Chain A
Amino acid sequence: MNTARDIGDVLLKVEDISLSFGGVQALRDVTFEVRAREVLGIIGPNGAGKSSMLNVINGFYHPDEGRITYKGTTRTAMRPHEAARQGIARTFQNIALFKGMSTLDNIMTGRNTMMHRNFLWQALYLGPARTEELEHRGAVERIIDFLEIEAIRKTPVGRLPYGLQKRVELGRALAAEPELLLLDEPMAGMNLEEKEDMCRFILDVNDEFGTTIALIEHDMAVVMDICDRVVVLDYGRKIADGSPDQVRADQGVVDAYLGVSHG
């Protein structure tokens, strides 16, 4: 566990979030907070509402009830692109890269919100538009360097193996220089070596850029290892919240994962 960094104030707070799809109650009165510069794990059995929670945070779902306070501003509903502009980036459980584009272009797309030249300048590709493009190319190259994917920068991502696609997706999220990074199962389907690489990248991102990270993961060893705090969801309810050691010892969590004897 990583305790050396100074964890700051509350960056994001979700309060009493409820969300339902027709008759299915995905989230019920979930309340927790994410503090600046921490690595927060969100765990729970399948269907517990973890991904729904991330979708609520970045504006993709609008909760039926509850408040979200991000950087001191409270909001109920916003569009995903507004969340992106405020510094929330995410990756997906099933990779959501732009398959027809190269690694470089995919990561460049992550910087879209920071590029402002209008289409007339871009059509001419002169002056400000060109300067802007090259400036952002430089920033993207630093991310490519950081993630050690130099060799595939011109390869269409559709041709890359799964592990590298996950890495490119992380790169695209990082390109937006987010304050809060949401990772939905960043290590799903990876072998041990790839998992270790990914853990290293996540910790490095947290350490070097001071990015706050909230991640969903099923590999308990990983979660207990890299997270500062863990929130446990089960059937849409929060059943525990605390340091990895506290959560591991919590009877409710053990019951949710292993089942309770009703005998």
Chain B
Amino acid sequence: MLYREAGQFKTSYAKDQAVFPIIQDRWFIALVLVVAYGVVPLVANEYWLQAVLIPFLIFALAAIGLNLLTGYAGQLSLGTGAFMAVGAYATYKITTVFPEINILVVFVMSGFVAAGVGIVFGLPSLRIKGFYLAVATLAAQFFILWLFNKVGWFYNDNPSGTITAPPRTVFGIMVAGPRATAEVRYFISLTFLVIFALLAKNLVRGRIGRSWMAIRDMDVAAEIIGIRPLQTKLLAFAISSFYCGVAGALYVFAYLGSAETEAFDLLQVSFPVLFMIIIGGLGSILGSILGAAFIILMPIFLTNAPALFNLPMPTDLSKHIEEIILGGLIVFLLIVEPKGFARLWQIAKEKLRRWPFPY
């Protein structure tokens, strides 16, 4: 088999700690990037970019954010939708008040706003854990969305109550608003995902990632070896919310175009993102992306499946069947491999490494 590490000797700690220590992985990732940047925009049509790939990229970013908090630091959160909404509304406010600031910079600024809000709602995590913390973050979800609905200032007293992406250009290219092309929005979402996935990987392989996992695995021991629980957990909330905030900004400005608080609903956003990281693999950056792909792509595939196999059926029936199959698949996957796609991929790699020997 081609995938093996035999003969690849690491002669320094730097090489051993590389993100992709095996040369085949590096080639594979380079290939993925070339396809994503070079081939996809040429091949994919408007529908694929707008309805499939852009939401996938944005949700993958949000899933990485939640995975940092839940998968790595072990703090269960149901407030993803709220933190994304903070990012989206912050972007809207900043870009309408200061239209001259580069919109891409505004996305990052909104991430910082979301991080601040995340810290506030992360404070209870010092005293409560697990499901109880999840309930506390639920408070964030309901309170923030209520606030954005209630106070007109957040949506500039727009009579429709929605926030709409205004036209914005970067270096003369229309990147947001109704006239921005799907290709441009795809490139922006992809670039944000690639950069932030790499940053997340760097965080989790260093001191901070180890502190998070230590708190997750055994908080008492973590404290005794010198990790400060409050700072560590709040940093996890801040960085996680930052990711969700940027994802929320992209969600409105690169995908929906306009939105109200409904778009960040618990059942629309928070739960699906949680499912993405559970199915993809808790504590894995790759898993977040795979989980997002599954949750976003599978329903689209199932919707189109009857037409593909020439099975004419009414739309409501096909919609119901779709939900049944999707639910069944999730249950099946969790029974077969509770640790998600990331673990499956790891097992596959180990098997390939030993091939053709069983062990």
Q: Is the CB of B210 within 8 A of A101?
A: yes
Q: How far is the CA of A117 from the CA of B228 in the complex (A)?
A: 15
A96, A109, A137, A176: the one contacting B211 at CB < 8 Å is A109
Q: Is the CB of B227 within 8 A of A112?
A: yes
**A98 touching B206 in the complex, CB below 8 Å, given contacts A110-B225, A112-B227:** no
Q: How far is the CA of A81 from the CA of B227 in the complex (A)?
A: 6
B14, B202, B217, B224: the one contacting A134 at CB < 8 Å is B14
Write the nearest CB–CB distance from A193 to chain B, whole angstroms: 27
Q: Is the CB of A81 within 8 A of B13?
A: no
Q: Is the CB of B224 within 8 A of A80?
A: yes
Listed in ascending order, the chain A residues whose CB lies under 8 Å from chain B are 58, 60, 79-81, 83-85, 89-90, 92, 96-101, 105, 108-110, 112-113, 115, 117, 119, 122-125, 129-130, 133-134, 137-138, 141, 172-173, 176
Q: How far is the CA of A96 from the CA of B283 in the complex (A)?
A: 20
Pick the 10 closest A-B CB pairs, nearest first: A84-B226, A96-B221, A98-B217, A125-B202, A113-B226, A123-B199, A122-B206, A137-B13, A115-B207, A80-B224
Main secondary structure of the interface of B (DSSP, over half): helix
**A98 touching B221 in the complex, CB below 8 Å, given contacts A112-B207, A117-B207, A122-B203:** yes
| Interface size, chain B (Cβ < 8 Å) | 30
Question: Contacts of A79 on B, CB cut-off 8 Å?
Answer: 223
Write the nearest CB–CB distance from A65 to chain B, whole angstroms: 23
Which residues of B (186-218) have their CB < 8 Å from a CB of A?
199-200, 202-203, 205-208, 210-211, 213-214, 216-218
Q: A85-B226, A100-B213, A119-B203 are in contact. List 20 more A-B contacts (CB 8 A).
A: A58-B224, A60-B224, A79-B223, A81-B224, A84-B224, A84-B226, A89-B225, A98-B213, A98-B214, A98-B217, A99-B217, A100-B216, A101-B214, A108-B207, A112-B207, A119-B235, A122-B202, A125-B202, A134-B13, A137-B13
Q: Is the CB of B213 within 8 A of A101?
A: yes
Q: How far is the CA of A257 from the CA of B271 in the complex (A)?
A: 58
What are 23 A-B pairs at a CB distance below 8 A? A58-B224, A60-B224, A81-B224, A81-B227, A84-B224, A84-B225, A96-B221, A98-B218, A98-B222, A100-B216, A101-B210, A101-B213, A101-B214, A101-B217, A105-B213, A112-B210, A112-B211, A112-B225, A123-B203, A129-B206, A130-B14, A133-B207, A176-B226
Query: Any chain A CB within 8 A of the CB of B96?
Result: no
Write the nearest CB–CB distance from A181 to chain B, whole angstroms: 12
Listed in ascending order, the chain B residues whose CB lies under 8 Å from chain A are 13-14, 17, 199-200, 202-203, 205-208, 210-211, 213-214, 216-218, 220-228, 235, 239, 283
Q: How far is the CA of A81 from the CA of B14 in the complex (A)?
A: 29
Question: Contacts of A138 on B, CB cut-off 8 Å?
Answer: 13
A101, A133, A176: the one contacting B206 at CB < 8 Å is A133
Nearest A residue (CB) for B235: A119
Q: Is the CB of B211 within 8 A of A100?
A: no
Write the nearest CB–CB distance from B354 to chain A, whole angstroms: 16
Question: Contacts of B214 on A, CB cut-off 8 Å?
Answer: 98, 101, 109, 112
Nearest B residue (CB) for A140: B13
A81, A105, A172: the one contacting B228 at CB < 8 Å is A81
